[in-house]
Amino acid sequence: MKLICNRVYALYNKTTAGLEWAAPASLLLLRLWVAVDFFRAGLVKVADMSSTVTLFQYVYHVPLLSPFVAAYLGTGIELVVPWFIALGLFGRPFAAFLFIYNIIAVISYSALWPHGLWTDFWYGGFTDHKVWALMLLALVLYGPGKLSLDHILKRWVLPHFRCGIEPVSNE
């Protein structure tokens, strides 16, 4: 029995070790997927800003902001932040920011949840937003991965300038 257990354990370890190479690639794919979707949304908005402002006046109900400010701010966010996500630069903070932005977008556009926010949340409403939220949450929790500018900075650039290294005290 112990021999079988050891063989199963060894096979499991080999299999999971063989899959470790996929983790950075999967995080890169998550980043690119979310970045492309948000960037495309920004391109649609910027293509006709007068229509975008009209949508924010009559359809989207963003709390605390005027429709004009919300339209231009939302468009700017969707055109700039995806680049940081795609490149993995300040990956966790920007993923957290887009996670919250995504929640605000869902709350602001009640047509996404015609049966009620909680009913549609649990029973198939606004699926794209839920998928983006899960991808962004994964990036917040795991970071942008080894295929990111964050990793390059942390691994190669910052140590060169001795950034993030505790000075040795002579006491």
Instruction: Check residue 165 and report its DSSP letter.
Output: P
The answer on pLDDT for 111 being more than 90 is no
User: Over pLDDT 90: what percentage of the chain?
Assistant: 58
- Apex 110 CA angle, 104 and 111, nearest 5: 125
What's the DSSP call for residue 147? S
Question: What is the rounded end-to-end Cα distance, in angstroms, of the chain?
Answer: 57
Identify whether the C-beta of residue 136 lies closer than 8 Å to the C-beta of residue 102: yes
How far apart are alpha carbons 62 and 74 in whole angstroms? 10
Where would I find the H helices in 64-144?
67-87, 91-108, 117-122, 127-142
CA separation for the pair 82, 88 (Å, rounded): 10
CA-based nearest residue to 95, from 37, 43, 135: 135
Tokens representing 13? 């370890």
Give the pLDDT confidence score for residue 85 in this predicted structure: 98
The pair of structure tokens assigned to 168 is: 């040795």
Q: Residue 168 — very low, low, confident or very high, per pLDDT cuts 50/70/90?
A: low
pLDDT per residue over 45-97, tens digit each? 999 999 999 999 999 888 889 999 999 999 999 999 999 999 999 999 999 99
Q: Of 146, 151, 158, 74, which is closest to residue 109 (Cα–Cα)? A: 74
- Name the residue among 146, 111, 112, 142 with its Cα closest to residue 128: 112
Q: Find out whether 135 and 34 touch, Cβ atoms under 8 Å.
A: yes
pLDDT at 164: 61
